[in-house]
């Protein structure tokens, strides 16, 4: 079945720098790729997504890139701020699975002052 | 989007007891999902619940251990039967606003089994 691998378990960047979190997937039929943020002790919040008909999407400081050939997608957080510190989860889904989400293992992002 | 509310926020119970977790959506949703998350780990889908039908359970989760009810389009309950310390985790309900994947989560219920 589909697997989603999230490569960085922990990522530490200096405030103001950019952070990049990478995920790969196995099923070429995957067509929807959301990202979620989980702050300490809290629930998951949707942050941004990308669909397979585009290769780039931006929302303010968040950029998602999708490379279908490499089956890779990444979340770029620019000009990081302390409030970006959290665990970020990537996921993938596809239409035939009724868009059931397959989750990555999470990346703990630490923003250093 | 869909707003989901869960009750209780947290619970502590003794081994062998049962407890109920409630999930309420602010609008009607077709499917509700229940997830389990151990401390800072990935989410595991436990089951999918549609109104008026039996929940569909994922591998490793059973109806006897985690019965789920879905009496209407805005409500679901997850019961943890014969709770064990290994069930200590956070339980999230989740649903979609549309048909193409946007999924939203409740705030979670943190369960500790002593």
pLDDT at B96: 84
Residue B4 is predicted with a pLDDT of 95
Query: Which of A32, A44, A95 has the CB atom closest to B92's CB atom?
Result: A44
Find, in chain A, the residue whose alpha carbon is nearest to that of B106. Answer: A43
Q: Which residues of A touch B108 (CB under 8 A)?
A: 42-43
DSSP three-state, residue B102: coil
* List of chain A residues whose C-beta atoms are within 8 Å of the C-beta of residue B102: 34, 46, 49
Please measure the distance between the N-terminal and C-terminal CA atoms of chain A and give it in whole angstroms. Answer: 41
Residue A92: HSE in the Cβ half-sphere, 13 Å Cα cutoff: 25
Question: pLDDT digits over A13-53, tens only?
Answer: 999 999 999 999 998 888 899 999 999 888 899 999 999 99
Is any Cβ of chain B less than 8 angstroms from the Cβ of A89?
yes
Q: What's the mean per-residue pLDDT of chain B?
A: 92
∠ CA A76-A93-B20 to the nearest 5 degrees? 100
Between residues B8 and A100, the one the model is more confident about: B8
Q: What is the rounded distance in angstroms from the CA atom of residue B48 to the CA atom of residue B68?
A: 9
Would you call A42 an interface residue with chain B, using a CB distance cutoff of 8 Å? Answer: yes
Sign of CA dihedral B42, A34, B111, B23: negative
Residue A2 has pLDDT above 90, yes or no: no
pLDDT confidence of residue B97: 72
Tens-place pLDDT, residues B37-48: 998 789 999 999
pLDDT exceeds cutoff 90 at B30:
no
**Would you state the pLDDT for residue A41?**
84
Residue B83 phi/psi, 5-degree rounding, is: -60, 140
Residue A32 contacts B, CB cutoff 8 Å: yes
For B54-108, write each residue's pLDDT tens digit.
Answer: 899 999 999 999 999 998 999 999 999 999 999 999 999 999 876 666 889 999 9
Name chain B contacts of A108, Cβ cutoff 8 Å: 40
């Amino acid at each position: 079945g589909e697997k989603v691998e999230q490569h960085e378990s922990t990522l530490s960047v200096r405030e103001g720098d950019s952070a990049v979190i990478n995920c790969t997937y196995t099923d070429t039929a995957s067509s929807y790729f959301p990202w979620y943020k989980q702050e300490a002790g809290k629930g998951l919040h949707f942050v941004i997504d990308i669909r397979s008909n585009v290769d780039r999407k931006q929302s303010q400081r968040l950029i998602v890139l999708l490379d279908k050939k490499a089956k890779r997608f990444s979340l770029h957080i620019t000009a990081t701020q302390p409030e970006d510190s959290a665990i970020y989860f990537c996921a993938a889904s596809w239409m035939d699975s009724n868009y059931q989400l397959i989750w990555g293992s999470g990346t703990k992002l630490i923003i250093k002052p | 989007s869909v707003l989901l509310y869960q009750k209780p926020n947290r619970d502590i119970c003794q081994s062998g007891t049962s407890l109920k977790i409630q999930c309420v959506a602010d609008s009607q949703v077709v499917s509700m999902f229940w997830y389990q998350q151990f401390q800072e780990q990935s989410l595991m889908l436990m089951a999918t619940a549609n109104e008026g039908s039996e929940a569909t359970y994922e591998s490793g989760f059973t109806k006897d251990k985690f019965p789920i009810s879905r009496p209407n389009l805005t409500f679901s309950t997850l019961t943890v039967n014969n709770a064990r310390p290994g069930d200590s985790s956070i339980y999230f309900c989740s649903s979609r606003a549309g048909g193409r994947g946007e999924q939203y989560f409740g705030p979670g219920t943190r369960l500790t089994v002593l």
